[in-house]
Amino acid sequence: MTVRIAELLMGIATLLVSLGLMYNVYADGLNIGWVEGRGPGAGVWPFWLSFGMALASLVTLLRWFRGVTPESQSSEPYIAPDTVFLVTVSAGSILALLILMNIVGTYIALMLFMLFFVRFLGRHSWPMTAGFVLGTPIFVYLMFEVALTKYLPKGLPIFEEGFLVIDNLRYEWFY
Amino acid sequence: METILVSLGAGLLQAFEPLNLFMIFAGCLAGLFVGCMPGLGSVNGVAILLPITFLVPPTAAIIFLAALYYGAMYGGAISSITLGIPGASTAVATVFDGRPMAQSGKADQALMAAAIASFIGGTVSIILFTLFAPPLAAFALKFGPQEEFALMLLAFATFIGLGGDDIPKTIFSILLGLVLAAVGFDIISGQPRMIFFDMVEFQRGIGFLVLAIGIYGIGEMLWTLESTAGKVQMHNVKITWQRMKDNFRQIKDYINSTWVGSFLGFFVGTLPAAGATPAALMSYGLSKTFSKDPDSFGKGNVAGVAAPEAANNAASTGSMLPMITLGIPGSPTTAILLGGMIIWGLRPGPLLFTESPDFVWGLIGSMYVANGVTLLLNLALIPIFIRVLAMPFTLLTPIIFVLCVLGVFATTDRMFDTWIMLIIGIVGYLMRKLNYPVAPAVLAIVLGPLAERSMRQSLIGSQGDVTTFFTRPISLVCIMIAVALVSYPIIQKILRKRKERANSVVGN
């Protein structure tokens, strides 16, 4: 896909999103008009700002049709073919990390994430990989669970119960 | 003046408290690190590390983040000079002469000039900040909601008038940020608004940090991965005591450019849409114009390194002036700092000076200390940072992604927000590739709730009378400047077309 096509599609998408936001406010029955003696109703701000977004999108589309924007004249690829793999894989790996955090819990997900990035994407040595795979969850546990007292997601009950062993050890040793 | 000196003294004492001093060192180091890594800048560092600062009290937290901000300005020069890739957009102008100097074996001279100029720029701007901030805050105490709203309009107008980006796209970006800030409950009637797909999670709204980390953490890393793909060529730096002494003696070659950059940077930095990048570019341009040897710029003139570096450091302090005194951030980084202040339970704006003097003067005191600490760390650790630069992206990227995901979770305790962060990061990356500016959206999501509240407060107070914004002098002046700023690009375009038409008539 060229930058030119991408700008057209983005313009259409932003226009649809803006109209969708306007519809959302309208469908919720919020007052999008003036309340006598009080000023704007609850829906005025989001509704008319979304209207402004729709207008800005229309102007962008108009400028695209007239070939005014540099992007509308560009036949370069939207994402360079030699890097599209790297970008897609990186974005996909975060998606996988979030999904895995809900299933196997934060720590196992982090270990798999690091294994993937350091070993399979970066092709680093096994000792380096091991350092990152083991070091990251330890750092995260100390920083977020111990210091910031945040209970990070532990996944399905079976994984959560398994993790309690570590928490119990910590409480037995330190408290 | 006496009051300022007494308060400053107290602030300096506070900056030297062990925890605060540690935070200054940690912040400067973190800043130098994020600044020198290509693709990462102060805004990314502040966004990603803000959740971690909840460990310490607000004063120590802002000292850490402010130190990170200066550190990043210093650090940006390291990769600009040794790699030829700006560590952050603020160091773009440093590449023009820094790279040729490195190619001709003068990398150490360029790095030292950058550090010294940054120190002078930082020091000048902090002195200006100390002098300007208290009177400006005292003046801003007269502001009511009308003036607050007018000031915010002015902040958004500067993005349209001076931002230099595509105007419809800039307007879209601002409005999107304002609309996203409206998700949740209406502040006046309490009615739920924009609860997409009836998901209850939206009732708590979309936090600014989710947007900021999405855009500046995830989006920026994807952008960097694409633009560098890990292919960089680094230049060796030879540093010896003798060379350092020689380099110190060269200060006279670039001191004038440094002064110009320092003053220009501070004042440009105070403008919300301008900030450190245009300040550095303007300073470079001015130095070149007034140089005795303008042709040597771009080929390795040390003044071409000093001018932008002094300016970007001065601008970073300048951008804090409207944030602390008016509650209007002067840059995306200060927008995130402002959001952080709200999370820490502080009310940004002129009242900070009276309600939380320890916080404000502790911050100002820390600026003086941090500037010196960063200079020392920068000079001492140049060889280490050059090694850090050789760190492959396949090691740095996963660490940043992990900090983004867990940072968002730690702030809101909801996995839902991490999903929103990912979506915003990917969409932000795709939009940025099409020249949609992202900084206005971040500023808008921080200022959105404040802007809506001040507008509606004003209108309730005036019983729905819109003229309330035009009958108060300060508000009127701000609105008039805002209108002028928005009209500026349109008038400029009309004038340019007329000139072109006149030229073509003359040509025929």
DSSP-assigned states of every residue in B458-476:
HHHHTTT-TTHHHHSHHHH
What's the confidence (pLDDT) of residue A97?
94
Identify the DSSP state of A71. G
The set of residues, in sequence order, having a beta carbon less than 8 Å from that of B96 and lying 6+ positions away, is B284, B297, B298, B304
Predicted confidence (pLDDT) per residue in A135-164, tens digit: 999 989 888 888 777 888 988 988 888 888
Residue A39 is inside which H or E element, if any?
Answer: strand A39-40
Show pLDDT as tens, one digit a residue, over chain A (175 residues): 889 999 999 999 999 999 999 999 988 888 888 877 777 888 889 999 999 999 999 999 999 999 888 888 888 888 888 788 888 999 999 999 999 999 999 999 999 999 998 998 888 899 999 999 999 999 898 888 887 778 889 889 888 888 888 888 888 877 6
| A4, A45, A63: best to mutate for the B interface, most B CBs within 10 A | A45
Res A52: pLDDT: 95
Q: Which pLDDT value is given to residue A101? A: 93
Contacts of B397 in chain A (CB under 8 A): 90, 117
pLDDT of residue B39: 64
Q: How would DSSP label each residue in B315-346?
A: HHHHTHHHHHHHS--SSHHHHHHHHHHHHTT-
What is the rounded CA–CA span in Å between residue A106 and residue A112? 10
Q: Which residues in chain B are contacts of A47 at CB distance < 8 A?
A: none
Q: Are the Cβ atoms of B415 and A101 closer than 8 angstroms?
A: yes
In the prediction, which pLDDT does A94 show?
93
Bridge partners, B185 (sequence order): B192
Q: Which of B77, B368, B120, B92 is nearest to B251 (CA)?
A: B120
User: What's the first-to-final CA gap in chain A, in angstroms?
Assistant: 59
pLDDT at B294: 77
* Token duo for residue A159: 């994984």
CB–CB of B310/B262 below 8 Å?
A: yes
Q: Determine how many CB atoms are found less than 10 A away from the CB of residue A172.
A: 8
Reported ipTM: the value is 0.92
CA distance B180 to A46: 8
Encoded tokens for B449: 């709730």
Distance from CA of B293 to the nearest CA of A (A): 35
By the 10 Å C-beta count (0-12 exposed, 13-18 middle, 19+ buried), B383 is classed as exposed
Total CB pairs under 8 A between chain A and B: 177
What is the average pLDDT value for chain A, to the nearest integer?
89
The beta-carbon neighbor of B176 closest among A53, A101, A117 is A53
- Please give the Cα distance from B460 to B144 (Å, whole number): 13
Q: How far apart are CA B210 and CA A106, in angstroms?
A: 19
pTM: predicted TM-score of the whole model, two decimal places: 0.80
B226 with A147: Cβ contact below 8 A: no
Question: How confident is chain B (508 residues) per 10-residue block, as mean pLDDT?
Answer: 79 86 90 77 82 84 88 82 71 81 81 89 91 82 83 82 80 93 87 86 85 84 76 59 73 84 85 72 80 79 88 88 83 84 81 83 88 86 74 81 87 88 92 87 84 87 86 89 86 84 75
The reported pLDDT for the residue numbered B37 is 72
The sign one gets for the Cα dihedral B126, B130, B135, B136 is positive
Residue keyed to tokens 């300005």? B73
Residue A46 is predicted with a pLDDT of 92
Indicate the residue of B193, B418, B463 with minimum beta-carbon distance to A46: B193
Token pair 């952008």: residue: B223
Mutant choice from B149, B194, B424, B497 vs A, greatest count of A C-beta within 10 A: B194
Indicate the length of chain B as a whole number. Answer: 508
In angstroms, what CA-CA distances link B160 with A56, B170, B174, B437? Answer: 12, 6, 9, 11
Phi, psi at B185, each rounded to 5°? -95, 140
CA B209, chain centre distance (Å): 15
pLDDT single digits (tens) A105-123: 999 999 999 999 899 888 8
SS3 at position A34: strand
